[in-house]
Protein backbone atom coordinates (compact mmCIF):
# COMPACT_ATOMS: atom_id res chain seq x y z
CA UNK A 1 0.00 0.00 0.00
CA UNK A 2 2.98 2.33 0.47
CA UNK A 3 5.81 3.22 -1.88
CA UNK A 4 8.58 3.68 0.72
CA UNK A 5 9.40 0.69 2.92
CA UNK A 6 7.38 0.91 6.10
CA UNK A 7 10.12 1.53 8.71
CA UNK A 8 11.61 4.35 6.62
CA UNK A 9 8.24 5.99 6.16
CA UNK A 10 7.61 5.79 9.91
CA UNK A 11 10.98 7.42 10.57
CA UNK A 12 10.02 10.20 8.18
CA UNK A 13 7.18 11.14 10.51
CA UNK A 14 8.78 10.32 13.86
CA UNK A 15 11.95 12.42 13.49
CA UNK A 16 10.22 15.82 13.01
CA UNK A 17 7.99 15.15 16.01
CA UNK A 18 10.98 14.33 18.24
CA UNK A 19 12.91 17.36 16.96
CA UNK A 20 9.98 19.66 17.68
CA UNK A 21 9.62 18.34 21.23
CA UNK A 22 13.35 18.80 21.76
CA UNK A 23 13.26 22.40 20.49
CA UNK A 24 10.31 23.21 22.74
CA UNK A 25 12.00 21.70 25.80
CA UNK A 26 15.30 23.54 25.27
CA UNK A 27 13.58 26.75 24.13
CA UNK A 28 14.11 28.72 27.38
CA UNK A 29 17.89 28.59 26.79
CA UNK A 30 17.55 30.67 23.64
CA UNK A 31 15.08 33.31 24.88
CA UNK A 32 16.54 36.78 24.20
CA UNK A 33 14.42 38.65 26.79
CA UNK A 34 12.90 37.94 30.23
CA UNK A 35 9.31 36.67 30.01
CA UNK A 36 7.82 38.99 32.63
CA UNK A 37 9.21 42.45 31.77
CA UNK A 38 7.92 44.76 29.02
CA UNK A 39 10.42 45.44 26.22
CA UNK A 40 8.06 47.02 23.66
CA UNK A 41 4.76 48.90 23.58
CA UNK A 42 1.67 46.71 24.04
CA UNK A 43 0.93 44.73 20.84
CA UNK A 44 3.93 46.30 19.10
CA UNK A 45 4.45 44.81 15.62
CA UNK A 46 7.58 42.70 15.01
CA UNK A 47 10.84 44.67 14.85
CA UNK A 48 14.59 44.00 14.96
CA UNK A 49 14.65 43.73 18.75
CA UNK A 50 11.50 41.64 19.14
CA UNK A 51 11.22 39.29 16.17
CA UNK A 52 7.56 38.46 16.90
CA UNK A 53 6.57 41.80 18.45
CA UNK A 54 5.08 42.43 21.89
CA UNK A 55 2.08 40.98 23.73
CA UNK A 56 -0.70 42.74 25.64
CA UNK A 57 1.78 44.07 28.22
CA UNK A 58 4.60 44.69 25.76
CA UNK A 59 6.49 41.54 26.73
CA UNK A 60 8.59 39.83 24.05
CA UNK A 61 6.40 37.26 22.25
CA UNK A 62 9.38 35.24 20.99
CA UNK A 63 10.83 34.79 24.50
CA UNK A 64 7.45 33.80 25.90
CA UNK A 65 6.96 31.42 22.99
CA UNK A 66 10.31 29.75 23.73
CA UNK A 67 9.42 29.42 27.40
CA UNK A 68 5.78 28.41 26.94
CA UNK A 69 6.20 24.94 25.43
CA UNK A 70 8.14 23.04 28.10
CA UNK A 71 5.45 23.01 30.84
CA UNK A 72 2.73 22.04 28.35
CA UNK A 73 4.82 19.20 26.92
CA UNK A 74 5.93 18.02 30.36
CA UNK A 75 2.32 17.84 31.61
CA UNK A 76 1.14 16.10 28.44
CA UNK A 77 4.03 13.62 28.65
CA UNK A 78 3.19 12.81 32.28
CA UNK A 79 -0.46 12.23 31.33
CA UNK A 80 0.54 10.05 28.37
CA UNK A 81 2.95 7.94 30.46
CA UNK A 82 0.40 7.41 33.23
CA UNK A 83 -2.53 6.63 30.94
CA UNK A 84 -0.53 4.26 28.74
CA UNK A 85 1.00 2.52 31.75
CA UNK A 86 -2.25 1.99 33.62
CA UNK A 87 -4.14 1.10 30.45
CA UNK A 88 -1.51 -1.49 29.51
CA UNK A 89 -1.86 -3.18 32.87
CA UNK A 90 -5.67 -3.11 32.90
CA UNK A 91 -6.04 -3.85 29.19
CA UNK A 92 -3.94 -7.02 29.30
CA UNK A 93 -5.71 -8.05 32.48
CA UNK A 94 -9.07 -7.55 30.71
CA UNK A 95 -7.96 -9.72 27.80
CA UNK A 96 -6.86 -12.52 30.13
CA UNK A 97 -9.88 -12.15 32.46
CA UNK A 98 -12.96 -11.44 30.26
CA UNK A 99 -15.26 -10.74 33.22
CA UNK A 100 -13.14 -7.70 34.17
CA UNK A 101 -13.17 -6.76 30.49
CA UNK A 102 -16.96 -6.45 30.42
CA UNK A 103 -16.84 -4.23 33.50
CA UNK A 104 -14.25 -1.91 31.97
CA UNK A 105 -16.31 -1.82 28.77
CA UNK A 106 -19.27 -0.43 30.75
CA UNK A 107 -17.11 2.13 32.55
CA UNK A 108 -15.99 3.35 29.13
CA UNK A 109 -19.65 3.50 28.07
CA UNK A 110 -20.35 5.82 31.01
CA UNK A 111 -17.21 7.92 30.51
CA UNK A 112 -18.14 8.57 26.88
CA UNK A 113 -21.17 10.56 28.09
CA UNK A 114 -18.98 13.13 29.83
CA UNK A 115 -17.12 15.40 27.37
CA UNK A 116 -13.47 15.65 28.54
CA UNK A 117 -13.67 19.42 28.80
CA UNK A 118 -16.61 19.22 31.23
CA UNK A 119 -14.78 16.61 33.31
CA UNK A 120 -11.65 18.75 33.52
CA UNK A 121 -13.73 21.78 34.50
CA UNK A 122 -15.44 19.79 37.25
CA UNK A 123 -12.23 18.52 38.80
CA UNK A 124 -9.99 21.54 38.27
CA UNK A 125 -12.39 24.10 39.70
CA UNK A 126 -13.28 21.97 42.67
CA UNK A 127 -9.54 21.88 43.46
CA UNK A 128 -8.57 25.48 42.69
CA UNK A 129 -5.24 25.67 44.54
CA UNK A 130 -3.68 22.73 42.69
CA UNK A 131 -2.33 24.52 39.58
CA UNK A 132 -1.56 22.01 36.83
CA UNK A 133 -2.00 18.97 39.06
CA UNK A 134 -5.83 18.74 38.94
CA UNK A 135 -5.82 19.17 35.16
CA UNK A 136 -3.25 16.40 34.77
CA UNK A 137 -5.17 14.17 37.20
CA UNK A 138 -8.46 14.76 35.38
CA UNK A 139 -6.87 14.15 31.97
CA UNK A 140 -5.41 10.87 33.26
CA UNK A 141 -8.63 9.60 34.83
CA UNK A 142 -10.75 10.52 31.82
CA UNK A 143 -8.27 9.07 29.33
CA UNK A 144 -7.95 5.64 30.93
CA UNK A 145 -11.29 3.96 29.98
CA UNK A 146 -10.81 4.53 26.26
CA UNK A 147 -7.11 3.55 26.35
CA UNK A 148 -7.95 0.32 28.22
CA UNK A 149 -10.40 -0.53 25.44
CA UNK A 150 -7.70 -0.08 22.82
CA UNK A 151 -5.18 -2.28 24.69
CA UNK A 152 -7.80 -4.91 25.49
CA UNK A 153 -8.88 -5.05 21.84
CA UNK A 154 -5.26 -5.53 20.74
CA UNK A 155 -4.50 -8.06 23.49
CA UNK A 156 -7.64 -10.18 23.00
CA UNK A 157 -6.41 -12.06 19.88
CA UNK A 158 -3.07 -12.71 21.62
CA UNK A 159 -4.81 -13.98 24.76
CA UNK A 160 -6.75 -16.44 22.58
CA UNK A 161 -3.63 -17.98 21.00
CA UNK A 162 -2.45 -21.47 21.71
CA UNK A 163 0.81 -20.50 23.37
CA UNK A 164 -1.01 -18.48 26.04
CA UNK A 165 -3.28 -21.47 26.62
CA UNK A 166 -0.20 -23.66 26.89
CA UNK A 167 1.46 -21.29 29.34
CA UNK A 168 -1.72 -21.13 31.43
CA UNK A 169 -2.01 -24.91 31.43
CA UNK A 170 1.66 -25.05 32.39
CA UNK A 171 0.76 -23.24 35.60
CA UNK A 172 2.38 -19.88 34.81
CA UNK A 173 1.23 -17.09 37.06
CA UNK A 174 -0.91 -14.19 35.87
CA UNK A 175 1.84 -11.55 36.10
CA UNK A 176 4.18 -13.77 34.10
CA UNK A 177 1.56 -14.22 31.39
CA UNK A 178 0.98 -10.47 31.29
CA UNK A 179 4.58 -9.30 31.31
CA UNK A 180 6.39 -12.05 29.40
CA UNK A 181 3.81 -13.56 27.05
CA UNK A 182 1.35 -10.82 26.08
CA UNK A 183 3.21 -7.52 26.58
CA UNK A 184 6.10 -8.10 24.12
CA UNK A 185 3.58 -8.63 21.31
CA UNK A 186 1.90 -5.29 21.97
CA UNK A 187 4.96 -3.04 21.51
CA UNK A 188 3.78 -1.33 18.32
CA UNK A 189 0.24 -0.87 19.62
CA UNK A 190 1.48 0.61 22.88
CA UNK A 191 3.94 2.96 21.19
CA UNK A 192 1.19 4.26 18.93
CA UNK A 193 -1.19 4.52 21.88
CA UNK A 194 1.43 6.52 23.77
CA UNK A 195 1.74 8.95 20.86
CA UNK A 196 -2.03 9.36 20.59
CA UNK A 197 -2.35 9.83 24.35
CA UNK A 198 0.34 12.51 24.18
CA UNK A 199 -1.65 14.35 21.51
CA UNK A 200 -4.78 13.99 23.62
CA UNK A 201 -2.79 15.26 26.63
CA UNK A 202 -1.65 18.32 24.67
CA UNK A 203 -5.27 18.88 23.64
CA UNK A 204 -6.75 18.58 27.11
CA UNK A 205 -4.02 20.50 28.94
CA UNK A 206 -3.98 23.33 26.40
CA UNK A 207 -7.77 23.56 26.30
CA UNK A 208 -7.79 23.75 30.10
CA UNK A 209 -5.08 26.43 30.06
CA UNK A 210 -7.09 28.32 27.45
CA UNK A 211 -10.06 28.21 29.84
CA UNK A 212 -7.71 29.56 32.54
CA UNK A 213 -7.49 26.30 34.46
CA UNK A 214 -3.95 25.29 35.37
CA UNK A 215 -1.22 27.81 34.52
CA UNK A 216 -1.89 31.30 35.86
CA UNK A 217 -0.56 34.67 34.60
CA UNK A 218 2.22 35.84 34.38
CA UNK A 219 3.36 32.30 33.49
CA UNK A 220 4.33 31.82 29.84
CA UNK A 221 2.14 29.09 28.34
CA UNK A 222 1.19 28.71 24.68
CA UNK A 223 -2.53 28.24 25.30
CA UNK A 224 -2.65 31.04 27.88
CA UNK A 225 -0.82 33.35 25.43
CA UNK A 226 -3.55 32.75 22.84
CA UNK A 227 -6.25 33.60 25.37
CA UNK A 228 -4.45 36.69 26.73
CA UNK A 229 -3.56 38.21 23.38
CA UNK A 230 -6.77 37.38 21.48
CA UNK A 231 -8.01 40.95 22.06
CA UNK A 232 -5.03 42.40 20.19
CA UNK A 233 -5.13 40.01 17.24
CA UNK A 234 -5.60 42.96 14.82
CA UNK A 235 -2.63 44.90 16.23
CA UNK A 236 -0.02 42.14 16.44
CA UNK A 237 -1.40 38.89 14.93
CA UNK A 238 1.87 37.09 15.76
CA UNK A 239 1.19 37.29 19.51
CA UNK A 240 -1.71 34.86 18.84
CA UNK A 241 -0.64 33.14 15.62
CA UNK A 242 2.81 32.06 16.88
CA UNK A 243 1.59 30.05 19.92
CA UNK A 244 -1.26 28.68 17.76
CA UNK A 245 1.21 27.44 15.16
CA UNK A 246 3.38 25.96 17.91
CA UNK A 247 0.52 23.94 19.44
CA UNK A 248 -0.78 22.97 16.01
CA UNK A 249 2.62 21.78 14.75
CA UNK A 250 3.31 19.85 17.95
CA UNK A 251 -0.06 18.07 17.93
CA UNK A 252 -0.04 17.33 14.19
CA UNK A 253 3.54 16.07 14.03
CA UNK A 254 3.14 13.72 17.00
CA UNK A 255 -0.21 12.50 15.67
CA UNK A 256 1.29 11.74 12.26
CA UNK A 257 4.19 9.95 13.96
CA UNK A 258 1.82 7.85 16.09
CA UNK A 259 -0.21 7.05 12.98
CA UNK A 260 2.91 5.98 11.09
CA UNK A 261 3.91 3.44 13.77
CA UNK A 262 0.38 2.04 14.27
CA UNK A 263 0.25 -1.59 13.14
CA UNK A 264 -1.56 -2.04 9.81
CA UNK A 265 -5.09 -3.35 9.80
CA UNK A 266 -5.03 -7.05 8.99
CA UNK A 267 -7.65 -6.73 6.21
CA UNK A 268 -7.04 -7.22 2.54
CA UNK A 269 -9.30 -4.96 0.52
CA UNK A 270 -10.84 -6.06 -2.71
CA UNK A 271 -9.91 -3.54 -5.41
CA UNK A 272 -13.06 -1.94 -6.75
SS3 204: helix
C-alpha triplet 254, 222, 262: angle, nearest 5°: 10
CB closer to another protein out of 33 and 142: 142
For the bound state, the minimum distance from the C-beta of residue 62 to another protein, rounded and expressed in Å, comes to 18
From 73, 64, 49, 21, select the one nearest 219 (Cα to Cα): 64
Among 75, 149, 215, 232, binds another protein (CB under 8 A): 149
Report d(CA 133, CA 130) in Å as an integer. 5
Query: Considering the complex, what minimum distance in angstroms separates the CB of residue 255 from another protein?
Result: 4
Task: Pick between residue 33 and residue 146 the one whose CB is nearest to another protein.
Answer: 146
Q: 59 in helix, strand or coil?
A: strand
Options 14, 50, 191, 251; binder of another protein; rule CB under 8 A: 251
Q: Among positive and negative, which fits the CA dihedral 93, 95, 96, 102? A: positive
Complete DSSP assignment for 7-56: HHHHHHHHHHHHHHHHHHHHGGGG-SS-SSSB-SSTTPPP-SSSTT-B-T
Could you tell me if 41 and 49 are in contact, meaning their C-beta atoms sit under 8 angstroms apart? Answer: no
Answer for the pair 257, 244: CB distance below 8 angstroms, yes or no: no
Binding residue for another protein (CB under 8 A) from 210, 220, 221, 228? 210
Q: Which among 60-68, 87-95, 175-183, 223-231 is the span making contact with another protein, rule CB under 8 A?
A: 223-231
x/- map, 106-145, another protein, by CB under 8 A: x-xxx-xxxxxxx--xxx-xxxx-----------------
Determine the size of the site formed for another protein (CB under 8 A): 58
If binding is defined by CB under 8 A, does position 268 make contact with another protein?
yes
Figure out which of the listed residues 136, 191, 199, 220 binds another protein, where binding follows CB under 8 A. 199
List, in sequence order, every residue forming a beta bridge with 85; answer none if it has no partner: none
The separation between the first and the last C-alpha atoms of the chain, rounded to the nearest angstrom, is 15
Q: Which residues bind another protein (CB under 8 A)?
A: 1-2, 105-106, 108-110, 112-118, 121-123, 125-128, 146, 149-150, 153-154, 199, 202-203, 206-207, 210-211, 223, 226, 230, 233-234, 237, 240-241, 244, 247-248, 251-252, 254-256, 259, 262, 265, 267-272
Amino acid sequence: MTTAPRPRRALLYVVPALLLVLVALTGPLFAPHPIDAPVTAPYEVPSGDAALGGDQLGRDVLSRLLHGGAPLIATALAVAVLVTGIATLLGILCALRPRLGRWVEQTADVAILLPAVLGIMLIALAWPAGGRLPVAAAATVLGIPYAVRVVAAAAAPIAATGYIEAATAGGERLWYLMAREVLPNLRATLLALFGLRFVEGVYVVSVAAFLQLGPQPPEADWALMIRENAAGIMLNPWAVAAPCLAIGLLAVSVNLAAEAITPDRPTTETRL
